[in-house]
Amino acid sequence: MNDAPTLLILGILFLLGLAADLIGRHTPVPRVTLLIISGLAVGPAGFDLLPQAFIHDWFPLLTTLALSLIGFLLGQKLSIAELRAHGKVVLGITIGETTGALLLVGAALLAIGVHPVVALLLAGVATATAPAATFDVVRESGITGEFPDTLLAVVALDDAWALLLFSLMMAAASAVNGDGSTAFNLVNGLNEIGGSLLLGALLGVPMAFLTGRIRPGEPTLAEAMGFVLICGGIATWLDLSPVLSAMVMGSVVASLASHHERPFHAIEGVEWPFLILFFVLAGASAHPEALFSVGGITITYMVVRCIGSYAGARAGANWSGANDATRKWMGLCLFPQAGVALGMALMASQRFPEFAPFLLPVVLASTIVYELFSPAITRRALQASQI
């Protein structure tokens, strides 16, 4: 692609991000939603102003980069100190909301006559949340304290737990489909989780002792970005999870480095421009026609997943002894779903190509709706938790 149009497009997208930020400060609409709407408007579903080659070339790279940055920042909420303070509550809510979504979605889809393989796979996809969208809504709200810290820890831990449950559903779907690869799917999923954890730990230890030793500012930013990009690049190269690997790396840094705030603050200063591009291109990559191709299944999936996530999160919060605000509002903050779910759907479609016409439209359509409306619900729940 010619450099001049590419630079022009990037400049316009950054200004869209500025406009979204300004509007988000003065309206109830989160800037994540505004950016995705902007993407829909300039993409093929709207005025078709963005070249398909630009979307195709930039979106996969920005997805990996954005998830790596967010994963690293979320890892700070999973340090040993944080887990000691809130570990039981975080674990209880995470297990509750993922299990609740999985069981209710699977049961509801089977009840309306969906093929068992599709029902199992969508039940597995239902466990994933959207760490990037949730993180940005929390940052934009400016709310601090126990509730947002617990929320960020939950969406961080959710990715690891969701990948495990999805692997189990892939294995179960293989057994139901009679293709004899049940063990392969399970082992493959466990390898992805284990490899991501190992990669994050292997990079986190040297990062904890090497970064921030020179002086604050540009050197720390270069060190932190270098490690995050290396982590995301190796994870992608080895077919691991960039967000999980970066999250573990961030957790190790936060746990081992007495000076750990420097690299986190450095990343916090630069992640927003990348998130602008990520969310706009996510909107531009959406396919609204998917909303109508399998409408009944999509509506059932979305509604039941929200019910299961909320009920499961509330049950987990009750079991773990969480405070009243956490029990009441945490489940409403866990509706967003985006990149991780799409990755799961793509993986399932590659493994079960005969069911791809059902899987991808449902997940694509639900992602559009979730990303448009659930950030506003998350913001409102965050505000209500402080009353």
pLDDT tens string 225-264: 889 999 999 998 988 888 888 888 988 888 887 655 666 7
CB 154 within 8 A of CB 82: no
d(CA 147, CA 120): 32
User: pLDDT value at position 24?
Assistant: 74
C-beta of residue 170 within 8 angstroms of C-beta of residue 346: no
**DSSP one-letter string for 114-138:** --HHHHHHHHHHTT---HHHHHHHH
- Dihedral sign from CA coordinates of 254, 338, 227, 195: positive
Per-residue pLDDT tens digits for 60-101: 888 788 888 888 887 877 777 777 777 788 899 999 999 999
From CA 241, how far away is CA 196, in angstroms rounded? Answer: 6
The residue type of 220 is: T
What span, in angstroms and rounded, lies between the C-alpha atoms of 235 and 231? 6
Rounded CA separation 288/295 (Å): 11
**Which tens digit of pLDDT belongs to each residue from 266-281?**
777 677 788 888 888 8
Domain residues for 250? 3-385
pLDDT at position 161 is: 84
Considering its fold, how many domains does the chain have in total? 1
CA distance 130 to 127: 10
pTM of the predicted model as reported, rounded to 2 decimal places: 0.77
Contacts of 102 (CB under 8 A, 6+ apart): 123, 124, 126, 127, 165, 169, 308
Summarised one tens digit per residue, pLDDT across range 165-213 is 888 888 888 888 776 666 666 677 778 788 888 999 999 988 888 766 6
**Using CA atoms, how far apart are residues 279 and 270, in angstroms rounded to an integer?**
15
Helix (H) or strand (E) holding 171: helix 146-177
**CATH number of the domain enclosing 371:** 1.20.1530.20
Residues 165 and 152: their CA atoms lie apart, in Å, by 20
SS3 category, 22: helix
